[in-house]
Amino acid sequence: MAIVRIAEDVESGGVVVGPGGGGGGAVAEVTEPLLRQSRGEENNKVAESKIPDEEAGCGDADGAGGSLRMVLLSTAVAVCGSFEFGTCVGYSAPTQSGIVDDVRLSIPEFAIFGSILTIGAMIGAVTSGRLADFLGRKMTMRISAIICIFGWLSIHLAKSAIMLDFGRILLGFSTGVLSYVVPVFIAEIAPKNLRGGLATSNQLLICSGSSATYIIGALVGWRNLVLVGLVPCVLLLAGLFFIPESPRWLANVGREKEFHTALQNLRGESADISEEAIEIKVGVGLMVFQQLGGINGVGFYASYIFTSAGFSGKLGTILIGIIQV
């Protein structure tokens, strides 16, 4: 009877220790090999389950490193447009005396030259959303860079107020478009954990471009200062050939194959490209309201403001360029 109970208990998974030592020894002898086998199978399963995870982890790490490099490269190319924006804003302040003397402009004519940038920027800002949605983020930035180049060349070759104003309004249109498409592009390609930091690079490069124009403009002539604005345009045009389009835009227009390719380059195959539309709208809205502070008016006429206050115009523009960064 004891043997039958032991067999039944083993089959049912139970362990019954009889009142005598014999029953307990029999159970131990029967169950111990089963326990060793069960533990061995569990260990094998755990080991087998770890191998794919570790291999997948290595692949994900490599993919994450590659995608991070592409995200950083794409951001660096895009913020060339932000730097360009800054050079356009800061150009008129250090060049006032040179342009007035060489082209023989009156103060009201130069005031028009300085402020007409905002008219072009308003037109560019109004059309930027439709352009970016219809042509794509990259193509919109490419067209803006080309327009910027024509604007700078018009200013560089200008011999009259009309050519100066024409070039300036082209720059304004381009910067109006770039002020929208660059932060939107960065927000769409950046992962959530990096989006905030990368988005700040847009404003940082705007201030850096303006500061560089102030400082270099105090050392070189107004025609040569055009080169400071041309360089980021050329870098932007060249860099756009090496970065992917916004995956979100590609998904919206139904270009599935290119969407998957861009997504894989930026974040890896398992990435989620769902974006917080509210965050993007808030960011763009803050940029719009920032203009109501009147900082651009100070930037356009910094040299005149400091001269009127009895200070050196060149020194004043340099100080503004350093402080605003």
> What is the total count of domains within the chain?
1
Highest mean pLDDT among 58-72, 185-199, 287-301: 185-199
Highest mean pLDDT among 3-7, 127-131, 153-157, 272-276: 153-157
Domain-embedded: residue 31 = no
Mean pLDDT of 36-41: 44
Residue 285 has pLDDT above 80, yes or no: no
- C-alpha to C-alpha distance for 34 and 32, rounded to whole angstroms: 5
Domain-embedded: residue 291 = yes
Residue 140 belongs to domain spanning: 70-324
- C-alpha to C-alpha distance for 289 and 302, rounded to whole angstroms: 22
Of 119, 141, 118, 117, residue with least CA distance to 128: 141
- C-alpha to C-alpha distance for 171 and 101, rounded to whole angstroms: 22
- C-alpha to C-alpha distance for 193 and 213, rounded to whole angstroms: 33
Band (158; pLDDT cuts 50, 70, 90):
very high
**What CATH code is carried by the domain that includes residue 125?**
1.20.1250.20
Q: Identify the residue whose tokens are 């932000």.
A: 82
Domain-embedded: residue 281 = yes
Report how far apart, in Å, the C-alpha atoms of 294 and of each of 82, 93, 300 are. 19, 15, 10
Domain-embedded: residue 58 = no
Domain-embedded: residue 15 = no
- C-alpha to C-alpha distance for 83 and 231, rounded to whole angstroms: 10
Domain-embedded: residue 33 = no
